[in-house]
A and B are shown apart, each in its own frame.
Chain A
Amino acid sequence: AQSVTQPDIHITVSEGASLELRCNYSYGATPYLFWYVQSPGQGLQLLLKYFSGDTLVQGIKGFEAEFKRSQSSFNLRKPSVHWSDAAEYFCAVGAFIYGGSQGNLIFGKGTKLSVKP
């Protein structure tokens, strides 16, 4: 079955430090991969997506992610974190499953990012 693992439940970084959030997926075919961010009480905002082509993907707010097929990973990075980046981050894989109970977007459990001043 398709699945997404975000190994880190909570990460704290200092403002200005670099950030890497890990994401591993299990999917039998070439995946479509997404990162979303959610501020408290809000919906999910799309940060970036990978469909094909260049394995390094640029997104909004200075984020980037790298697709590594050999490691089944799609880690999110930012060179310098701002206090406003504090939020919860979700990795997801798009699944070409019709009629399935998981739906077409399978999410990880999320990583909560705290930023120290």
Chain B
Amino acid sequence: KAGVTQTPRYLIKTRGQQVTLSCSPISGHRSVSWYQQTPGQGLQFLFEYFSETQRNKGNFPGRFSGRQFSNSRSEMNVSTLELGDSALYLCASSLSRGADTQYFGPGTRLTVL
């Protein structure tokens, strides 16, 4: 079974631009969670989607948004990019919600110049 895939793997943007990252979960998995990882803050939870609905949201500004499609694929969007948004963005999928095992993708490295 294929693992979690994320596209693109690397992205360079400038301040003020917006970006969309994509995540395809493991087949059959219905929950997708997004995390931001930086050297200073570590792994921070962004949001979780299940059945096309956002279920949990971390403490991030409204510039960070996401959605989930009927096939469970998910996208996250960051508008008006700031230098501090430079990070590794990780997507994880699980069969269901709650404390189910999450399987991570390779991440998208976003650099904001």
A17 cross-chain contacts in B, Cβ below 8 A? none
B90 cross-chain contacts in A, Cβ below 8 A? 43-44
24 contacts between A and B (CB under 8 A): A32-B99, A36-B104, A42-B107, A43-B6, A43-B90, A43-B104, A43-B105, A44-B92, A46-B101, A94-B101, A98-B97, A99-B55, A100-B56, A102-B45, A102-B58, A103-B33, A103-B47, A103-B48, A103-B58, A104-B97, A105-B99, A107-B42, A107-B43, A110-B42
Query: A83 in the interface, Cβ–Cβ < 8 Å?
Result: no
A90 cross-chain contacts in B, Cβ below 8 A? 43
**Contact indicator A105/B33 (Cβ below 8 Å):** yes
**Interface on B for A, CB 8 Å cutoff?**
4, 6, 33, 35, 42-43, 45, 47-48, 55-59, 88, 90, 92, 97-107, 109
**Contact indicator B102/A105 (Cβ below 8 Å):** yes
B103 cross-chain contacts in A, Cβ below 8 A? 46
Report the separation of the CA atoms of residues A36 and B57 in the bound assembly, to the nearest whole angstrom: 22
Chain A interface residue count, Cβ-Cβ cutoff 8 angstroms? 26
Nearest Cβ in chain A — how far from B57, in angstroms?
Answer: 7
Report the separation of the CA atoms of residues A102 and B56 in the bound assembly, to the nearest whole angstrom: 8
* Identity of the chain A residue whose Cβ is nearest the Cβ of B106 in the assembled complex: A43
Report the separation of the CA atoms of residues A37 and B88 in the bound assembly, to the nearest whole angstrom: 15
Give the dominant DSSP class at A's interface: loop
Nearest Cβ in chain A — how far from B12, in angstroms?
Answer: 15
**Contact indicator A98/B42 (Cβ below 8 Å):** no
* Identity of the chain B residue whose Cβ is nearest the Cβ of A103 in the assembled complex: B45
**Contact indicator B42/A101 (Cβ below 8 Å):** no
B48 cross-chain contacts in A, Cβ below 8 A? 103-104
Nearest Cβ in chain A — how far from B10, in angstroms?
Answer: 10
B98 cross-chain contacts in A, Cβ below 8 A? 94, 96, 98, 104
Of B43, B45, B55, B104, which contacts A98 at CB under 8 A? B55
Query: A109 in the interface, Cβ–Cβ < 8 Å?
Result: yes
For window 7-27 of chain A, which residues contact chain B by CB distance below 8 Å?
A: none
**A-B interface, 6 closest residue pairs, ranked by CB to CB distance from nearest:** A94-B99, A103-B45, A32-B99, A43-B104, A44-B104, A43-B106
